[in-house]
A and B are shown apart, each in its own frame.
Chain A
Amino acid sequence: MTLTKKDVRKFLSEYKIVALLIVIAIIWAFFGYLTYDSDLGGSQFLTPRNFSNLLRQMAITGMLASAMVFVIVAGEIDLSVGSLLGLLGGIAAVLDVTYSWPLWATIILVIVMGLFFGLMVGWLTAYLGIPSFIVTLGGQLAFRGMVLGLTGGITIAPVSSDLKFIGQGYLPELVGDAGGVLLFLVLVFLALRTRMNRQKHNLSVSTMPAEVGRLLFAGVIILGFVMTLNDYQGVPVPVLVLLIILAVFTIVGNKTTFGRHIYAVGSNMEATRLSGVNVAYVKMMVFALMGLMCAFAGLTTTARLAAGTPSAGFGNELDAIASCFIGGTSMRGGVGSVSGALVGAVIMASLDNGMSMMGIDTFWQQIVKGIILVAAVYMDIVSSGNQRG
């Protein structure tokens, strides 16, 4: 059988995530080869330590990208998340350092503030009809201004060790192992329940060997992931948080009416409204989720730096947006997945990490990332056959 252009296109559009994983494999192999040093006993890129670093680096972008996917799928954009992250991280630092609040109280207040600002942006966009590009461009300026006012333009440090743990801590090896086993058991349980439910409703089910094979494959991935991280210091706390977000958001996107409505609104808002859906509410809540993720990312940033800085989160919105697009989210709305966006974030982080390790100048790093973004979206256009002209 000869592979035609059409076959390749079909494969790429149906298994977008597979194509992206292949891209990651190529990037890793590339950097693995370039950082090979026989004196140091092998490749410096492909080590458990660097794997752990890479995941920690991408965690913050990943948190933002997880919610940004929904914003873009709903046909909107949010340019204010970097500044909002900075503001919320700054609030966390002030509460922790200046007022010595207990960690739980700090977290609750920061989350409430994140939801508040998210709802406000959403309300301005969805109910007052101001384009989200404008609202969030204004937000970018205003939130950054608030950070500067709040911190007085200086770094607020040192934060308590409790707060630091959120950004810098690792799970003990045993907890990591237990978590991996638990995750595997949950997957098995869900697979069996789905099977039973499908049989109850007389829907077709896949064969038992296929099911077992799929579960075993997932098991091997989980095992490899946990073992690699344990080989260094354990699963980093921000990575754990990101994985939980991935799970929760994937469920929200696929298993709730809210998630379904996000995709519908982005694909055809009028038809969705005429089906009896409250489209303004859906849009507002998408921005609320974005605000919530800014709170998570802000706390993580402050904890990781062990300080609140006036420039925290600067430019993060662009990394988050780029991750979504690399991960196959459509500019026109209606298409995109959280897992895709996180894979996009891994690609971005791998490029950053690999190039830094090779001592490439920052300016080159930015140029390369820019080119990769444009090329990735072009690939997406070619594979979905949406060329213009």
Chain B
Amino acid sequence: MSDYLLEMHDITKDFNGVKAIDGIHLQVRRGECVGLCGENGAGKSTLMKVLSAVYPYGTWSGQILWEGKELKARNIRETEEAGIVIIHQELMMVPHLTVAENIFLGSEPRNMAGFIDYDLMNAQAEKLMARLKMSDINVALPVYNYSGGKQQLVEIAKALNKNAKLLILDEPTSALTTAETKTLLNLIKEFKANGMACVYISHKLEEVAEIADTVTVIRDGTHIGTQPMAELDTNKIITMMVGREMKNLFPRETHAIGDVVFEAKNISCWDVTNRERKVVDNVSFELRKGEILGVAGLVGAGRTELACKLFGCWNGDHEGKIFLEGQEISVRAPRDAVRLGICMVPEDRKRHGIVPLMGVGYNITMSVLKRYTTSGFIQSEAELAEIQNQIIRMKVKTAEPLLPIASLSGGNQQKAVVAKMLLPEPKVLILDEPTRGIDVGAKYEIYKLIFELAKQGVAVLMISSEMPEVLGISDRVLVMGEGKLRGNYVNEGLTQEKVLAAAIGQPTTEVA
């Protein structure tokens, strides 16, 4: 019998001919914790979806051996029966059901009459919570009474109830406080001692270093290396994660940088649901006319929350002062921001960027529709003429200017959303992941546009999780981690290693 619990060999998965992961290996022994590391989009989630049969057997190539035998699972239920349980980054709790009901969702114990046996269920739930040293939780109370950290533990109790032999944790601590994280890590150590295996996916490398026995690094969908943690340290992992050469993907153009136009002072934001948790922690920075300021950081660093606060759309508690051209401004709603000359292209294009049923053109003119009206009536012809100008300027590929925007490709939708936010002629433009999920050609167009805007004197704040993009575009780079500003570097001789180290919380020498 093999001494591995799980062996994944040569796993390859492609989407319409584009390889998301290519020939990846992953082995896990009983009682071992494997850290799985890679940048955003490296293919970690795809690999885990293959393992948990979200992509069923046959839709990918390669071999999975589970306890020495080949596993050909067709759905999640089959992998869970085998003992592979995945805990997702976002909590999958039904908030209004009780703790016990959530743990037993889909496997409720029933009595003779066929009704749910609540006594048995609650008793078993209490036993599970005791194993997790969470006896203070009342299993008969709805889950929403508990913080994100406690809910995470309920999620783990659910996994234990399914007799998990292998626990996969995908960024389990991204929504937890420091204390909650510590509890979770201790628990995982205890599970290991009892023979349970786990795969730990996290950007927080110090957590990986603390609990992993072996680390596997993947990058751009390929296997980079697997080494015992004892032979590694966080810096080595970072080098493995980044390790690619920068190609000339960026049409850099020189542009003059002027005076400070925008200033944020002591910005803090709190989570909407978990109101104790700070998601942006006392961040201050300046932005100059014609400057491109990149904001780097890992997922969950608080960058989007910061952008929302500056644009007036953060729904949780917040504080801090914002200055535009030396004047303190009050931005209580996006319309205040747009009026004052601050525009934002949001991260989630589908939810926050496009009005799907409306024409491309009407999406573009939405921010400034008043311009094309006389005495209250839209001058359709004037509007259409402007729409055609914008479509040509932004190279939006659409058969007709008024085709519903939802029928366009992601890149063309994004160009239209950017056009919408340029029409108000902003002094400050915030771009949140402007090139996420769009093809290389459209990316290039957007980079060119950013430089063109900087030349015209627009101050650009660009949030991006793609490190090469941040380094290829920015004049200066802010690095955020766990809500804090962890670095503010002039982009000269700046390396990905240095930025990533700062994001993770191990800043090397300060430059700026």
A interface list, Cβ under 8 A from B:
194, 197-198, 200-203, 251, 254-257, 260-261, 263-264, 267-268, 270-278, 334-335
Contacts and interface: CB of A to CB of B under 8 A. Distances in A.
A203 B385 contact: yes
Contact of A201 (B338, B356, B382, B424): B382
B358 interface: yes
A256 B353 contact: no
B378 interface: yes
B381 A198 contact: yes
Contacts of A255: 377-378, 380
Contacts of B376: 256-257
Contact of A263 (B352, B358, B420): B358
Most chain B CB neighbours (cut-off 10 Å) among A267, A270, A275: A275
Nearest to A280: B333
A202 B382 CA distance: 10
Given A201-B382, A267-B357, A275 B420 contact: yes
B337 interface: yes
Contacts of A270: 351-352
Contacts of B357: 263, 267, 334-335
Given A201-B384, A257-B373, A276 B338 contact: yes
A150 B362 CA distance: 47
B354 A268 contact: yes
A300 B352 CA distance: 43
14 contacts: A198-B381, A202-B385, A203-B381, A257-B369, A260-B362, A263-B355, A264-B355, A264-B366, A270-B351, A271-B351, A274-B313, A275-B366, A278-B333, A278-B335
A283 to B, nearest CB: 14
A255 B384 CA distance: 13
B378 A256 contact: yes
Interface in B346-382: 346, 351-358, 362, 366-367, 369-370, 373, 376-382
Contact of A272 (B339, B366, B370): B366
B377 A267 contact: no
B106 to A, nearest CB: 20
A268 B339 contact: no
A202 B381 CA distance: 9
A264 B338 CA distance: 17
Interface of B: 311, 313, 333-335, 337-339, 344, 346, 351-358, 362, 366-367, 369-370, 373, 376-382, 384-385, 388, 420, 424
Given A267-B357, A271-B352, A276 B385 contact: no
A274 B385 contact: no
Contacts of B388: 203
Nearest to B353: A271
B356 A267 contact: yes
A200 B381 contact: yes
A275 B379 contact: no
Nearest to A335: B357
B497 to A, nearest CB: 35
A-B pairs with the 3 shortest C-beta distances? A276-B338, A201-B385, A197-B381
B86 to A, nearest CB: 26
Contact of A271 (B355, B370, B373): B355
A271 to B, nearest CB: 5
A257 B358 contact: no
A260 B366 contact: yes
Contacts of B379: 197
A276 B382 CA distance: 21
A203 B384 contact: yes
Most chain A CB atoms below 10 A, which of B362, B379, B381, B382: B381
B352 A260 contact: no
Nearest to A199: B381
A198 B388 CA distance: 13
A260 B387 CA distance: 15
Given A203-B381, A255-B380, A274-B346, A260 B369 contact: yes
A274 B334 CA distance: 6
Contacts of A261: 369
B419 to A, nearest CB: 12
A19 to B, nearest CB: 19
Given A201-B382, A260-B366, A264-B355, 7 more contacts: A197-B379, A198-B384, A203-B384, A203-B388, A261-B369, A271-B353, A276-B334
Nearest to B362: A260
A267 B353 CA distance: 12
A69 to B, nearest CB: 15
A259 to B, nearest CB: 8
A275 B385 contact: no
B124 to A, nearest CB: 35
Residue from A197, A255, A274 whose CB has the most chain B CB atoms within 10 Å: A274
Nearest to B406: A267
A276 B424 contact: yes
A268 B346 contact: no
A276 B373 contact: no
Contacts of A276: 334-335, 337-339, 367, 424
A257 B370 contact: yes
Given A257-B370, A275-B420, A276-B367, A268 B356 contact: yes
Nearest to A200: B381
Most chain A CB inside 10 Å of its own CB: which residue of B362, B367, B369, B420:
B369
A275 B367 contact: yes
